[in-house]
Every structure is written in structure tokens, then in C-alpha cells.
A and B are shown apart, each in its own frame.
Chain A
Amino acid sequence: MKLKFWGTRALISSPSKDTKVYGGNTGCLQIIYDDALILVGSGYGATNLGEELMDRIIREKKAFNIHIFISNFHWDHIQGLPFFQPIYFKSSHLHIYSPMAKSDLYEGLNVLFNESYSPFEALNKMPANVSLYQMQEELAVGGLKVRYVPLDRSETPSFGYRFDSPNGESVVVASANAGEENKALIQLSSEADLLVLGGLFTEAEYKANKAWGFASLERSLKLAMQAKAHKVLLSHHHPLRRDSDIVAIKEKLVASKDFGHLEFDFAQEQTIYEVL
């Protein structure tokens, strides 16, 4: 299993020469395993993947099955969907998963296709075949076992997902994790090879923005230590953070020695991360 971030940014895209390393698109992460195309989130980052698939869709007439897990309906987690080019082709089949009721999932995404906000009419009028699934306890997708937990955000239902491969590799993606301790997420992340958590705020920013509900970098790393995760990638970067700011924050966290031997880094767009 490998991971590739197509979008790492929270709230709003940050295209800039100052964000070249860590990335400027809103959230989208690809789980690479065999031939399966699995995404967590469909922020604007997804559109760059869509552009790359075009050649195979048009010239090779390749029909793609694309699996998308939705963690919540915050714009930055979904807003790329109407601009994800495979959705313009009848040959594509999008499978969209969440533990929410299918009608809620449809409604939460369909607003993106509202004809006043977009040149489209509705999600179910797009050329691609779009199937929605309400996740039960466990699911098998593209050879991976998928489980979820709620992320305990009070303002809106949000979910973290765990992907296990048959050869024992595991990835947990929960970049919208909340600041308060979440026992279910710690349990889901137990001994995960790679754990993706949120890094929107520093602890000082977290205290000043508690109503936003996102964990600080420090709280995310402490959660990873409790879960005994093997490696952490912090994503969901603040839109105003330049590459140099992220490097400075990282150096401070490393120097603090609060996180023992925990291996962690800040997620970079386009970099492919080996799970093991």
C-alpha cells in the first residue's frame, strides 16, 4: 500500500510559489493498492488527478471505477467533485462511501452541482454512473478492508477511515480529527503503520480557535503516541502557511522532545509515501 496526497490544504486552496513543497490544493488523498483507485476526500486536489486520468479515458477508452470516501461535507473536503473530470464521462463509475444515510450523503454533495453555483443541474444528472453507499461496520474495497469511526466533531458528522491490506499493512486517515480525546479513534489507529491526522493549528492557535473544533498538531501527535502508530503524516495545512512556516513548525516540534521516538512529518502534495 502507498499513499499519495493530491491536496493537503485546509479551508481554501493556497496556490503559490511559497507552497510548492507542501502543496496548495484542498484535501484529497489517494490510497494506492493494486489497480484500485481509492480516494479519501474530493477537495480541489482531486481535479489534478482527474486531469491525469483524461488521457487514458479519452485515448485508451479506459473505464475507471473510482472509490471515494467522504469524511465530512466541509467544502475543502468535497469541492473538487464537480470539477473531477472523470465525472463528465459515461464510462466512469464513481462509488462514494460514508457511514451517513444515502439521502444525507446525496444532499451533502448535491449542493456542489446546484445550477446557481455551477453550470450543472444535479449530481445524478452527471454523465458518470455515481453510486452512493452507506457504510456498515466493515467493507471490502479494491482488496482492502475498510473500517471507520466518528471523529466527534460537534458541528457536523465527520469520520476517520482505516484501510488494511491482506498482507497486514494499515493506514488510518482522519485529518479532520477534533481536539478532545477520542478513544474510538485511538483504538482504530492502534498500531497503524501510517496515520494521517490534522495539522491546521498549533496548540496556541487551537486555544484561540476552539470553536473550530480541530485538533492542534501537538494533540494529533499525542493521539498517535497513545495509539502506538508507527508513523504520522500531518495534513490539512492552514492556507496561510508557507513552506518555510511549516519547516519552522516542524523543527520546533522535533526539538520539543514531547513526542518521544514518534516518527512524524508534514504531508507533501505529489510525494508518494510507502506505508511500510
Chain B
Amino acid sequence: MRVKLHGVRGSRPTHKNSLLGYGGNSTSIQFLLPGKDFELYLDGGSGLAHHGLRLGSQTKNRKFYFLVTHTHWDHMIGYPFFAPLYNPNNEFVFYTSSPLEKDSFEKLFYGQLAKGHLPFPRDLVKAKIEIKLIKPGEKLVIDTDVHVSTYQLNHQGITLGFRVEYQGESAAVITDNAPIENGNHLGEHWKELAKDNSAQFEKDFNDGLVRFLHRCNTVIFDTHFTEENLKADWGHSTPHRATKFCSDAQVGRLILFHHAPEDTDQAVADKVTSVINIGKSAGLEVVAAREGDEWPAK
């Protein structure tokens, strides 16, 4: 299995000469599964739009699975431009737990196609679409031997981390996850759930995430901020936090991801430098996500 990075930027896509080395498109990741005749993706940021426009609407008779982490714009704006959606002979399955009690993924997905917000006719989307609601922590099996597990992250609403296992290899994606400390509980209802024992809640979350990532081959982790500019209540992590989780979990490779839109290529490279030796001492390889790159899940 390999992971392909179609979009690595957080918050919004951005284009400036100083950051095009790592890329300006927002979150889109593909899991390349040897021997499978379906496709597996995570999220639909602007990186997915470009991949889809290149695939074109002539792409047909294919099944696409999407793992939906959450519905913030940077993870959603690419869907309407994923041209295989326009072909009636394609099938789509979206796995989402977003947000159960408020706007459903279905409403938000079609909301993007609403009249007045896109210039093309709404009925352009002709593929068969199935939206499967999952609970945080739920495990899925796709096509008998692709195993997917989920973990709710410390971010607004209900945001899921995903771990994919196939042929004995594993890759996980932790997009959007803030340090949980000092009552910084961002998940829906978490403040209420944690109110009687905040410290235990935080410890349980951190221990749970380490277990979730245990011995994972390749982990793509939100490192939007640095320790110096961290705004914990914005819902994002840092290279040091990501390295700590991955070292504790005996992960093989950490890919720094969800680069802040203000981050120049130099700033991203500096993030790697800031933790590379900490990682090395724990046997962890640390690299930065660069648009277009593919990494093995081993």
C-alpha cells in the first residue's frame, strides 16, 4: 500500500511563489491499494478537485470510497470538481460521522452544489452516491481485507482520524488535532463530558491516540502550528506534539502535514529540522508532506 498526497495545506488552498515547493492545495489523500479495482480517498480539499479534473468525467465503471474526517471548507471544497461524480456509471461511498446532530454530511455535500454557489447545473452530479454514517471509534472493512479504524480527534465538531490496514501494512491520517490540555476540549459535547474529571479525560484521549497509532508504518499528522505560534483552541497540532505521539506509539514514519497557509517552503523545512533528531532517537523517520509525493505504508 502507498499513500499519495494530492493536497497538503491546511485552512485554505493558497498560491504564493514562496510555498509552491510543498504545494498550496488543501487536504486530499489517496490510499493506493495494489490488486484492488476500487479507489480509496480521504477528504475532498482542493487537491482532490485537481486530481478529479484530470481524471475527467469519462472515468467510468469505478467505485470510489471516501473517508471523511470532517466538513470544514479546506476538506470539502474539492468535491464538486471531482469529475468522476458526473458519470452515472460510477459509484461513491462516503464514510462520515459528521456532525450527527446538526448538519449532516449529506446536507453539507449537497449544500456545496446549491443553486447560486456554483456555475454548473446541479444535476451534473450523476454518480450513485451512498453516505454511510459511522460512529467515532467504529471499525470498517472495505472489500473483505481493507481494515479501517477510526478515532475522534480534538477538533471542532466530530473529526475523525483514520487508520487503514492492508496486506500487513498500515497508514494513518490525523488531520486537525489540537493538544488536549488545560481544558482545551474541542470535540462536540467534550466540555460537558470532561467537566468532572478533566485530567483523566485528557489522559484517556492521549493514551487512546497512542494506542490507535501503535506500530503504524506511516502516519500523516497535523503540524499546522509550531510550539512558538501554537493557538491550541484553533484545533491544530505542532511537529513536537506529532513526534511525541508517534514516538510513543513506535510509528515508523511521520509525515508532517496540514501546513499553515502562511508557511513558506523554508518554514515547512524548518519544521522537519526542529524534530528530526528527536524522531531519530526513537527510530522515527520524519518528513514533510509535499503535494504529488507518494509514500509507502511500510
Q: State whether the Cβ of B161 lies closer than 8 Å to any Cβ in chain A.
A: no
- Contact among A12, A15, A116, A211 for B108, CB-based, below 8 A: A116
Given contacts A47-B12, A75-B117, A212-B120, 5 further A-B contacts (CB under 8 A): A15-B46, A117-B72, A118-B73, A119-B235, A214-B119
- CB contacts under 8 Å to A, within B68-104, are 71-73, 76-78, 81, 98-99, 102-103
Point out the residues of chain A lying under 8 angstroms from B111, CB to CB. Answer: 111
**Also in contact, A83 and B116, with CB within 8 A (given A12-B81, A117-B108):** no
**Also in contact, A16 and B20, with CB within 8 A (given A47-B14, A116-B103):** yes
Listed by A's residue number, 7 A-B pairs whose Cβ atoms lie within 8 Å are A12-B77, A23-B15, A44-B15, A47-B14, A79-B77, A108-B116, A116-B98
CB nearest neighbor in A for B9: A15
Q: State whether the Cβ of A42 lies closer than 8 Å to any Cβ in chain B.
A: no
Q: State whether the Cβ of A156 lies closer than 8 Å to any Cβ in chain B.
A: yes
**A74 and B119 contact, CB distance less than 8 A:** yes
A272 to B11, CA, bound (A): 28
**A80 and B12 contact, CB distance less than 8 A:** yes
Write the residues of chain B forming the contact surface with A, with a CB cutoff of 8 angstroms: 9, 11-17, 19-20, 23-25, 46, 49-50, 53-54, 71-73, 76-78, 81, 98-99, 102-103, 108, 111-112, 115-121, 156-157, 234-235, 261-262
Point out the residues of chain B lying under 8 angstroms from A25, CB to CB. Answer: 13-15
**Also in contact, A19 and B15, with CB within 8 A (given A79-B73, A115-B102, A117-B71):** yes
- CB contacts under 8 Å to B, within A9-26, are 9, 11-17, 19-20, 23-25
Point out the residues of chain A lying under 8 angstroms from B116, CB to CB. Answer: 72-74, 108, 155-156
A266 CB → nearest B CB, Å: 16
A75 to B261, CA, bound (A): 19
Point out the residues of chain A lying under 8 angstroms from B119, CB to CB. Answer: 11, 74, 153, 155, 212-214
**B78 and A12 contact, CB distance less than 8 A:** yes
A112 CB → nearest B CB, Å: 8
CB nearest neighbor in A for B54: A240
**A15 and B156 contact, CB distance less than 8 A:** no
**B117 and A119 contact, CB distance less than 8 A:** no
B28 CB → nearest A CB, Å: 12
**A83 and B12 contact, CB distance less than 8 A:** yes
Point out the residues of chain A lying under 8 angstroms from B50, CB to CB. Answer: 12, 14, 239-240
- Contact among A11, A23, A156 for B81, CB-based, below 8 A: A11
B44 CB → nearest A CB, Å: 11
In the A-B complex, the 5 residue pairs with the closest CB atoms: A15-B24, A24-B15, A15-B15, A13-B13, A156-B116
A180 CB → nearest B CB, Å: 15
Q: State whether the Cβ of A48 lies closer than 8 Å to any Cβ in chain B.
A: yes
Point out the residues of chain A lying under 8 angstroms from B261, CB to CB. Answer: 47, 83
Q: State whether the Cβ of A114 lies closer than 8 Å to any Cβ in chain B.
A: yes
Point out the residues of chain B lying under 8 angstroms from A269, CB to CB. Answer: 15
- Contact among B25, B77, B118, B157 for A15, CB-based, below 8 A: B25
Most chain A CB within 10 A, of B99, B116, B120, B234, is at B116
* Number of A residues with CB within 8 Å of any CB on chain B: 45
A111 to B121, CA, bound (A): 20
- Contact among A12, A73, A116 for B49, CB-based, below 8 A: A12
B288 CB → nearest A CB, Å: 16
Q: State whether the Cβ of A55 lies closer than 8 Å to any Cβ in chain B.
A: no
**A73 and B102 contact, CB distance less than 8 A:** no
A114 to B98, CA, bound (A): 14
CB nearest neighbor in A for B105: A116
A80 to B46, CA, bound (A): 14
Point out the residues of chain B lying under 8 angstroms from A118, CB to CB. Answer: 72-73
Q: State whether the Cβ of A205 lies closer than 8 Å to any Cβ in chain B.
A: no
Q: State whether the Cβ of A274 lies closer than 8 Å to any Cβ in chain B.
A: no
**Also in contact, A15 and B12, with CB within 8 A (given A47-B261, A73-B116):** no
Point out the residues of chain B lying under 8 angstroms from A155, CB to CB. Answer: 115-116, 119, 121
B75 CB → nearest A CB, Å: 10
**A116 and B20 contact, CB distance less than 8 A:** no
A232 to B9, CA, bound (A): 34
A103 CB → nearest B CB, Å: 14
A14 to B282, CA, bound (A): 38
Point out the residues of chain A lying under 8 angstroms from B156, CB to CB. Answer: 115, 119
**A239 and B81 contact, CB distance less than 8 A:** yes
B293 CB → nearest A CB, Å: 15
Q: State whether the Cβ of A51 lies closer than 8 Å to any Cβ in chain B.
A: yes
Point out the residues of chain B lying under 8 angstroms from A23, CB to CB. Answer: 15
CB nearest neighbor in B for A108: B116
- Contact among B19, B53, B112 for A240, CB-based, below 8 A: B53
CB nearest neighbor in A for B12: A83
Point out the residues of chain B lying under 8 angstroms from A72, CB to CB. Answer: 116
**Also in contact, A74 and B117, with CB within 8 A (given A13-B15, A117-B76):** yes
Interface string of A25-60 (1 = CB under 8 A from B): 100000000000000000010011001000000000
A82 to B73, CA, bound (A): 10
**A114 and B13 contact, CB distance less than 8 A:** no
